[in-house]
Structure 1
Amino acid sequence: MAQAPSILFIMCDQLRADAIGAYGNGLVRTPNLNRLARRGLLCTQAYSTCPVCMPARYTIRTGREPYHTGYYDNGGLHLSESQPADPEARCGDYLPRTMRKLGYRTFGVGKFHTAPWNEELGYEAQLRSEELWNTAEQREGDDYVRFIQERHPEYGHLEQLHGERTEMYYMPQTSPLPAELTVEAWAADRAVEFIDAAEDDERPYFGFVSFIGPHPPLAPPIPFNRMYNPDAMPNPVRGDRETDWMDEQLPWMNHLIWAEDIDDPRARALKARYYGEITYIDQCLGRVLDAVERRPDADNTLICFFSDHGDHMGDHHAWQKESFFEASARVPFLISWPSQLPRGEERDDLLCLTDLFAIATGAAGRLEERDGIDALGSLTGSAKPRERLFGWYGQPGEPTFKVMVRDPEWKYIYMANGGREQLFHLREDPNELRELASFLPDVAARLRQAAREEMAKHEALAPALADGDLRSFPFRARELTRIRQFDLSRGVADFTING
């Protein structure tokens, strides 16, 4: 019997697929991500089926879609009456617990974004580094914060170690820490330590490394803050505002994060910092890849790199994520296993974060697809590829609910708020600038029917159906508000002076 491979999952937060050199971006420098692409397969049509932080992460650790995890947005848990409160009772064992049962040594480093903040996930060793701390207990329980306080107390005064948020969310910034001390460097260093320590353990390892960047604030450390000239950056890609903002969450989100009036010069400056952060993380990633390559089982180590979602970065007159536009929902997906998979090839299979559970368990010899597919089998031709991919966002039965249907050519998006729908022919219009629902009603109707049929299979989605169709609500824009993300763990909740 072939020896089980070691498995390493590496993820970023808010990294667009098209912000990597291997995906065709000729501006950004990502030598190590390009190296990883040469080591295996670059998947061009991979998606986050619920493109926002917490739901995406519960999908990754469970192999389940939101109708099982109960997370459809960052607003909390939404369960049907019949769903048990315990997440593993709803979804099955989390991935790290599953891999431990399969004989793996397991470790996790970085951002996990769990509820509660210190939820036990099943790793033998876990080191947390989160974006925000709502209580003193959370700050004290953050392993990266502890590292700074104990080893580099000269930076202990900083309220926000990863850059300023609130009104500075989409302002070009520089990290308050040197490159060797940021949370990305810390995560890479700890991952290398775990990988090197595996030499003393006969078991294969399952590792999970989760970088916080390039999630805003866009604050790369010196010298990455000045690596890219804003004048060399392209302007955002926009359609007509009426089409771009059919999803009213986009203008609402712009206002929420103080980004409602970003002009092209500032957008270019932000992209320069975004790319600087990506190149910096790429350098950190290189140290992790070097650690893998030093080991004797390097060729029998499966590495999968991905992101939880993208960022509009001004495209479609929008910032942040939480839409089903490509900029938000399509993610990088690199998978390599030199002893088993081809090298340096592209695949256009429809894949998603839900498939990661099957990738890990399948490689370990105990395939468990759950809500995903056998992605390894699909990529090697031994299993049937996915014909359609579905995405979900917002509580079913509420105006915020949205559904996406993606097939090899088309994308259909339905928004319950106003019963609005969009249709894009992605093969001819990859930037989603020509909305076709009213011009091609037969295609829209076919994909809408596919959404209805899929939703009818899942009890938790029943509130999003009405009278045999997708439920709609009279259109209403949400009341505008602002985030105030200061350091709640130290009692800092707002500006000193309000008026």
Structure 2
Amino acid sequence: MSSDRPNVLVVMTDQQRFDTIGALGNSQIHTPNLDRIADSGVSFTNAYTPAPICVPARHSIRTGCEPIRTGYLGNDKRDGAHLEDRCGPFLARAMGNRGYRTFGVGKFHTTPYDLELGYDVHLRREVYEEDTGNELSTALGRKDAVHLLPQTNQLPADETFASWVADRTVEQLREDDDRPFFGMASFMWPHLPFAPPEPYDRMYNPDLLANPVREDRDLDHMDEMIPKNNRSFWNEREDAISDPTARTIRAHYYGMITHVDRQIGRILDALEAADELENTVLCFVSDHGELLGDHHGWQKTAAFEASVRVPFLLSWPGRLPAGETNDELVSLLDLFGVATTAAGDPDYRDGIDLVGMVAGDAEPRQRLFAYHEQPSMPPNFTMMVREGDWKYVYMANGGREQLFDVATDPDETTQLREDRPEVAARLRNAAVEHLQEREFREALGNDSLAASPFRRLDGVRGGDYPDHPGDLLPESSDEE
């Protein structure tokens, strides 16, 4: 596989928080292989997803375009085939056009399921699809309230989805081909259900882990999507998960990450055995984070750091420094430019020249934007602006605003909107200008950000409860 141009391998997880890598300061988690990547390259400590939910984040990675350009801001089940007309070739096709052998393995979360993304070899496995090995239904049972509780996966560790992704990726790395490769290894974990296999389910002592960051509920729940997500699992019981249970969930969440880390180690070992590790641009990211009980909330969609900030490690032996951290503003949008730069024909689209920025040859990003949900589905649209140490969040539902200094207040517990109105105004205007430049008028009204009267959003549980328990039973006692 030797070539003048390096291989490119993107390793991706689903719903992994930024603060879950041992080498980057989490002394409680065991991630020796993510540490290997961090030690061999650059760790971006202010990396963000352009949308803190699966589908739009993944569309942005494969197109290099912002959600307001792709048109996907939520988990819309719409055919994505038109995206190449709007944005240009998908990343895998762009790399194939540049002479790369391409393969994709794992979760891609597309509609339709078999959407053609440009890979020469595309091995999909989505755990929520009944016909593709549904771990959830075969090993864990229901996906409503039980979905959120800590469990043990009944599959052996070497038969999980994560192991399957590593198995198939290693097979692709062993293919005999003179072309350099571009590969995507996409793991589903640590996305819930929080169910690692043995022994990862008992690797971390919950009593030694921290409780969630929970202070001002009114501040935490200004974004109505957080209590809505809670109600989706727990009806009205927004605080139904106690601190001891939350710590146990965190222990299982960490166990899932360590299990994935071990599979990543198998991939790194295969690259090393093929003498290709030093000739491979290796990038590790996640599509978004997980609140994990912080801010009285669970899951993603929110603009709090635990949800919108992601791990982003980049190793390019001989080109980038090893063992460095970089605190400039970075987005998953920048992956497209990294890969095409390695191919010798850079295309940055809505991202920046990340490799050039590290080298000091390109300007860093001054502002970074993220979004959730369509303005056409009021009142859910949310927009985040990061500039320096400031974070501004706008919620169309009620026209609510938040302002945080994430340097002095990393847990985002102190609302500064009233104390620093000039900063909020500057970042609000920056959001308006950005939407105007991108001609995303749906989120604008009267030359400002559109707002609607506040409305409580209903949660959607795994099934509505009957008026009487017996209503769910058949009339006959013979249920066969």
Q: Same fold (TM over 0.5)?
A: yes
Among 252, 256, 272, the alignment partner of 2:251 is 272
> Could you tell me how far apart the structure 1 residues matched to 2:221 and 2:203 are?
33
Q: CA deviation at 1:469?
A: 0.7
| Residue in 2 that maps onto 1:243 | 219
AA aligned to 2:68 is Y
Q: CA deviation at 1:295?
A: 2.3
Among 164, 168, 183, the alignment partner of 2:146 is 168
Instruction: Give the TM-score normalised by the residue count of structure 2.
Output: 0.93
Q: CA deviation at 1:103?
A: 0.3
What's the RMSD between the two structures over aligned residues?
Answer: 2.0
> Could you tell me how far apart the structure 2 residues matched to 1:87 and 1:62 are?
8
> Could you tell me how far apart the structure 2 residues matched to 1:377 and 1:162 are?
46
AA aligned to 2:289 is G
Contact 1:164/1:217, CA 8 A, preserved across alignment? no
| Residue in 2 that maps onto 1:128 | 124
| Residue in 1 that maps onto 2:48 | 47
Which deviates more from structure 2 when the two are superposed, residues 54-63 or residues 287-296? Answer: 287-296
> Could you tell me how far apart the structure 2 residues matched to 1:450 and 1:422 are?
15
Among 362, 376, 382, the alignment partner of 1:402 is 382
> Could you tell me how far apart the structure 1 residues matched to 2:124 and 2:111 are?
13
- Relative to structure 1, is the Cα distance of residues 85 and 97 closer, same or farther in structure 2, using a 3 angstrom cutoff? closer
Q: Does 1:416 align with 2:396?
A: yes
Q: CA deviation at 1:19?
A: 1.4
Instruction: Give the TM-score normalised by the residue count of structure 1.
Output: 0.90
Q: Does 1:262 align with 2:258?
A: no
Among 323, 330, 352, the alignment partner of 1:373 is 352
- What secondary structure sits across from 1:455 in the alignment? helix
> Could you tell me how far apart the structure 1 residues matched to 2:219 and 2:470 are?
39
| Residue in 1 that maps onto 2:477 | none
Q: Does 1:387 align with 2:366?
A: yes
Q: 1:301-380 to 2 correspondence within 5 Å? A: 301-380=280-359
Q: 1:17-56 to 2 correspondence within 5 Å? A: 17-56=18-57
Q: Deviations over 1:209-256 (max 9, x none)?
A: 000000000110111111111111110012300000000110010111
Contact 1:162/1:182, CA 8 A, preserved across alignment? no
Contact 2:268/2:277, CA 8 A, preserved across alignment? no
- What secondary structure sits across from 1:341 in the alignment? coil
Contact 2:399/2:450, CA 8 A, preserved across alignment? yes
- Relative to structure 1, is the Cα distance of residues 20 and 470 closer, same or farther in structure 2, using a 3 angstrom cutoff? same
Q: Does 1:234 align with 2:213?
A: no
> Could you tell me how far apart the structure 2 residues matched to 1:296 and 1:187 are?
21
> Could you tell me how far apart the structure 1 residues matched to 2:293 and 2:463 are?
21
Q: CA deviation at 1:163?
A: 6.5
Q: CA deviation at 1:481?
A: 2.8
Q: Deviations over 1:126-150 (max 9, x none)?
A: 11111212xxxxx43x3x56xxxxx
| Residue in 2 that maps onto 1:488 | none
Which deviates more from structure 2 when the two are superposed, residues 14-23 or residues 300-309? Answer: 14-23
| Residue in 2 that maps onto 1:448 | 428
Which deviates more from structure 2 when the two are superposed, residues 475-484 or residues 65-74? Answer: 475-484
| Residue in 1 that maps onto 2:478 | none
| Residue in 1 that maps onto 2:476 | none
> Could you tell me how far apart the structure 1 residues matched to 2:89 and 2:139 are?
33
- What secondary structure sits across from 2:401 in the alignment? strand
- What secondary structure sits across from 2:12 in the alignment? strand
AA aligned to 1:426 is V
AA aligned to 1:127 is L
| Residue in 1 that maps onto 2:158 | 180
Over the matched positions of the two proteins, sequence identity in percent amounts to 50
Q: CA deviation at 1:302?
A: 0.3
Q: Does 1:101 align with 2:77?
A: no
Q: CA deviation at 1:33?
A: 0.5
- What secondary structure sits across from 1:44 in the alignment? strand
Which deviates more from structure 2 when the two are superposed, residues 178-187 or residues 63-72? Answer: 63-72
Gap regions ≥5 residues in structure 2: 474-480
- Relative to structure 1, is the Cα distance of residues 297 and 285 closer, same or farther in structure 2, using a 3 angstrom cutoff? closer
| Residue in 1 that maps onto 2:7 | 6
Q: Does 1:205 align with 2:181?
A: yes
Q: 1:73-92 to 2 correspondence within 5 Å? A: 73-77=74-78, 86-92=82-88
Gap regions ≥5 residues in structure 1: 79-83, 134-138, 146-154, 486-494
Q: CA deviation at 1:162?
A: 6.7
Q: CA deviation at 1:205?
A: 0.4
AA aligned to 1:124 is D
- What secondary structure sits across from 1:187 in the alignment? helix
> Could you tell me how far apart the structure 1 residues matched to 2:103 and 2:463 are?
33
AA aligned to 2:312 is F
AA aligned to 1:424 is F
Q: CA deviation at 1:77?
A: 4.6
AA aligned to 2:231 is H
AA aligned to 1:122 is G
